[in-house]
Structure 1
Amino acid sequence: MGLLKQWFLLILLLGVKVICQDYDNAYETTYPEYDSETELEPRIPPLVVTQPPDYGNPYIPYPQECARECYCPFSYPLAMYCDHRKLKAIPNIPRHIRHLYIQFNDIEAITAEPFVNATSLKEINLGHNSLKSSLVERNAFTNLKDLLLLYLDHNNLEEVPASLPKTLQRLSLGFNRISKLSADAMQGLASLTVLDLCNNRLTDAGIRGKTLSGMKALMQITMCNNKLKSMPSDLPASVLQLSLENNSIASIPDGYFKKTPNLLSLRVSHNKLKAVPYTVFNLSRLMELNLGHNQLSKAFFIPRALEHLYLNHNEFMDLNVTLMCPSLDQSKPNLLTYIRIDNNRLSGPIDYSAYSCFPRIRIIFYGEQKLEKKKTLPPTKKPRLMGDAPINGGDGNVYE
């Protein structure tokens, strides 16, 4: 956490700025399925658990065995590249291979046969293929006892494959057709830290129960671009980042985050929130809160640790700083450094007390605000003298 905060302090500009320019497309995201925007400030980086390249011990001679359809570079002896080769099936994987890159092909099925000898595999990338759930064998990954990273994004999967290795740390299932998380498929994934389910067809009924609560190591959950109408239930206490952008979530229950007290980043932009409970975001470690593109109009409590707040494209007519910051403590000041409030219905400048409540504020992006729609009057009839012809007003109406 110390390094992360130092990163923010280095990138923030000195001095308070109120920015009034209006920029379109200001929220940058890796999921271009919906209209998003480029952030004006550096965002908290995704809490992605990455695996350092495994080049092996250069003093140990590795066999040069490689599937004839693929490429095994001499400088990276533990990897096999089979991507962009129009493959219809997974070739047999040699025993020494630890990293298999077989994305961007035409593979529909996964069987256990190619992995019989590949017990050293740590990473498999099967993204951008044509995988179908009905053609994925239940025991396809059973023997892969060291597998850490599995990428199955951009396929035609309708459910999470069963019997995944318990060692798995990252599972990417974005851009599929998954509507339900079965307890059977998610059971035993106690080591999973990152779960990507963006751009699927998940519904509230599809993730009910304690499907996710058993994942005690889970830190990052992304469910953007789905069909959720409410917040997912029974999340594990280990969650640090929750991304639910572009769903149809209409409310957040009071006390919802009591089970996830360590949350650092929450993104619920592009939903249907009209109001939230006053203290619902009172989390001691929350640093980023994105509520842009909703229908919020009432202020809520801002936790002390929060640094980045996005309220753009809502219905605020004023920002009640007294409600956002009900008390001042000079020994423990609020850490808010950036707030975005453009495209609301604000009609005046920000209350000066905001700078007292948030002494570390650096940028207030005010931008352009929504204009009240002008009422259009129905066309009036002009008296016509006897013998006058009807007048065409040029707007589709004929005035007598």
Structure 2
Amino acid sequence: MRRGRPKLLSLLLLLLLLLGPPTTAVMEDPTFPHLGESLQPPPRACPPRCSCPRADTVDCDGLDLRVFPHNITREAQQLSLQNNQLQELPYNELSRLSSLRTLNLHNNRISSEGLPDEAFESLTQLQHIYVAHNKLSVAPQFLPRSLRVADLAANQVTEIFPLTFGEKPELRSVYLHNNQLNNAGLPSNAFHGSEAITTLSLSNNQLSYLPPSLPPSLERLHLQNNLISKVPRGALSRQTQLRELYLQHNQLTDSGLDATTFSKLHHLEYLDLSHNQLAAVPAGLPRTLAVLHLGRNRIQQVEAARLHGARGLRYLLLQHNQLGAAGLPAGALRPLRGLHTLHVYGNRLERVPLALPRRLQSLVLPHNRVAALGARDLAAMPGLAELNLAYNRLASACMHHRAFRPLRALRSLDLAGNLLTRLPTGLPTGLHTLRLQHNQLRTLEPEPLAGLEQLRELSLAHNRLRVGDIEPGTWHELRALQVLDLSHNDLSFVPPDLPEALEELHLQNNRISYVGPEAFLSTPSLRVLFLRANKLHMTSIAPEAFLGLPHLRMVDTMGNPEQVLIQLPPTAPHQPRARGP
């Protein structure tokens, strides 16, 4: 038996040699799940508490971070660190992120000392940088050439350097508003080599004159809320693509502008010069101008020659100037054939300006001294849709009964705050809104309201109306009326026969002491009813008063002597709210 064992081992060894060793491919199959391995991809590296929704995005917004986060992937293209407590940017961490395209540092506590000069040298692909609402006292000396948008607003910046925004061929938008920049801190070559900038915001700074050498590619320039008293000659001669120019809230006078200031701006559409010290309309306005805002200046008269070039003007705003009786001479606005809206409220005009452009659609004249309205004063504006003469000195005796008849397109008429004792006559039948509050109306008659079948809103608040002074049939033809305001009068009960389409009725601050069961029979569409501050007591409203009002949503009875009990119709689809003390 012992002699046969070596032969058996020899046979086994020969068999193994014939079969050969195990194949390497089977042992090292990369698709085979080895022990301890997972089929899931490895987790992305992401700083603690931050979120990384994509491989190139790191979002650390609003985490109260005080230290720049570690473990930010080198592949990051979008990094948001806004709304934190960061005071500095470590160069070693930032220089690793050479793939960054967007860096958002908005609303931190970063100072210029915490921002190294070389901080952005390695960010050669950066396109958007947001450092608004920090504590920078000077701008970074260097920003990447690849930049498209730079936002340094709401800091304390007093100085810009040539390579902060210069030599940036792709730069489109620069935001520097709400800083402390004066002209000395803005070098003449601040935008040299950046010929694609379309938006520049320098508002709310300390500039005393319009900066020279602005990019010729500008389309929007914000310079409001500075100390600008002068636009140097030729300062805007190269900005021929400018469409919007904001110069309001400065210290501009007539001597700070000349006839060439705006003459080269062949694409200008919006010019805001309000809240300055101008005594005249500027000369040399371009033909393309659509909106001219001159409110709150010291303009005493408008000369037609100054507007001759601005024939494309659509909106002219002259509110709160010093325009007197001769402030708008007849025909002064005649060159503006396409004028749509004229605002002259808050002046000293004594009559409606004559010979206004025929295509005018909105004339806003409240808070002047207009005391009379003649038969032909409005005849030159057949297309007028909105007329506001509120808070003037118009009396019924000085208002011609045909004054409004030519205004066939009129939809809104505001005569509030005048001295009217009766309703105006000859009102256009297409009116939608009529405001007569704060007058001295003592009576309402059917005739002035006849034919107003499209009227939707009528305000008669703050007058001296009593129910007995409202003649029968007054509301008869107001078939479309939805809102009626009779508040602050001397009504002792709900006026009868109110319009059927009425949805909102204001009766607050009257002397109503009782609401009978038939008070609202004529108004089945009523939704909102105001009865506050009357003389109603606990049982002053009849239980049946609101029957037949399925759409009623609110009844306001606050401010009455007692809490008012309101019985609502049980079949109402939505239970209305009853407001009481």
Residue of structure 1 equivalent to 2:198? 78
The answer on 1:364 being equivalent to 2:504 is no
Count residues in correspondence.
Answer: 304
Q: Which moved more, 1:311-320 or 1:189-198?
A: 311-320
**Structure 1 segments unaligned to the other structure (5+ residues):** 1-54, 56-60, 372-400
Residue of structure 1 equivalent to 2:368? 247
The answer on 1:222 being equivalent to 2:338 is no
Tell me how far 1:69 sits from its aligned partner. 4.1
Identity of aligned residues (%): 27
SS of 2:421's equivalent?
coil
Q: Tell me the amino acid that sits aligned with residue 266 of structure 1.
A: L
Residue of structure 2 equivalent to 1:338? 457
Residue of structure 2 equivalent to 1:179? 300
SS of 1:355's equivalent?
coil
Q: Give me the whole-angstrom Cα distance separating, in 1, the residues matched to 2:427 and 2:172.
A: 59
Structure 1 residues 151 and 370: alpha-carbon distance in aligned structure 2, compared to 1, 3 A threshold: farther
SS of 1:339's equivalent?
strand
Structure 1 residues 199 and 370: alpha-carbon distance in aligned structure 2, compared to 1, 3 A threshold: farther
Residue of structure 2 equivalent to 1:260? 381
Return the TM-score normalized by structure 2.
0.50
Q: Give me the whole-angstrom Cα distance separating, in 1, the residues matched to 2:310 and 2:253.
A: 22
Q: Give me the whole-angstrom Cα distance separating, in 1, the residues matched to 2:330 and 2:172.
A: 48
> Which residue of the other structure, out of 267, 270, 273, is the alignment partner of 2:391?
270
Q: Tell me the amino acid that sits aligned with residue 227 of structure 1.
A: R
> Which residue of the other structure, out of 231, 234, 257, is the alignment partner of 2:355?
234
Q: Give me the whole-angstrom Cα distance separating, in 2, the residues matched to 1:112 and 1:100.
A: 17
Q: Give me the whole-angstrom Cα distance separating, in 2, the residues matched to 1:237 and 1:251.
A: 21
Tell me how far 1:206 sits from its aligned partner. 2.2
SS of 1:357's equivalent?
coil
Aligned positions of 1:1-400 closer than 5 A:
62-63=170-171, 69=186, 77-92=197-212, 93-275=214-396, 276-282=399-405, 283-299=407-423, 300-325=425-450, 334-348=453-467, 350-351=470-471, 353-369=473-489
Tell me how far 1:77 sits from its aligned partner. 4.5
Q: Tell me the amino acid that sits aligned with residue 199 of structure 2.
A: A
Instruction: Mark the structure with the bigger radius of gyration.
Output: 2
Contact 2:330/2:353 (8 A) holds in 1: no
When the two chains are superposed, the root-mean-square deviation of aligned CA atoms in Å is 2.5
Q: Give me the whole-angstrom Cα distance separating, in 2, the residues matched to 1:369 and 1:134.
A: 53
Q: Give me the whole-angstrom Cα distance separating, in 1, the residues matched to 2:170 and 2:198.
A: 8
**Structure 2 segments unaligned to the other structure (5+ residues):** 1-147, 149-168, 177-184, 492-581
Tell me how far 1:278 sits from its aligned partner. 1.6
Tell me how far 1:63 sits from its aligned partner. 5.0
Give deviations 1:72-117, integer Å, cap 9, x for gaps: 9x9x951100101111111132111110001000000123322122
SS of 2:327's equivalent?
helix
Contact 2:466/2:490 (8 A) holds in 1: no
Structure 1 residues 110 and 355: alpha-carbon distance in aligned structure 2, compared to 1, 3 A threshold: same
Tell me how far 1:139 sits from its aligned partner. 1.1
Q: Give me the whole-angstrom Cα distance separating, in 2, the residues matched to 1:173 and 1:335.
A: 36
Q: Give me the whole-angstrom Cα distance separating, in 2, the residues matched to 1:315 and 1:208.
A: 32
Q: Tell me the amino acid that sits aligned with residue 323 of structure 2.
A: L
Q: Tell me the amino acid that sits aligned with residue 238 of structure 1.
A: R
Q: Point out which structure has higher relative CO (alpha carbons under 8 A, 6+ apart).
A: 1
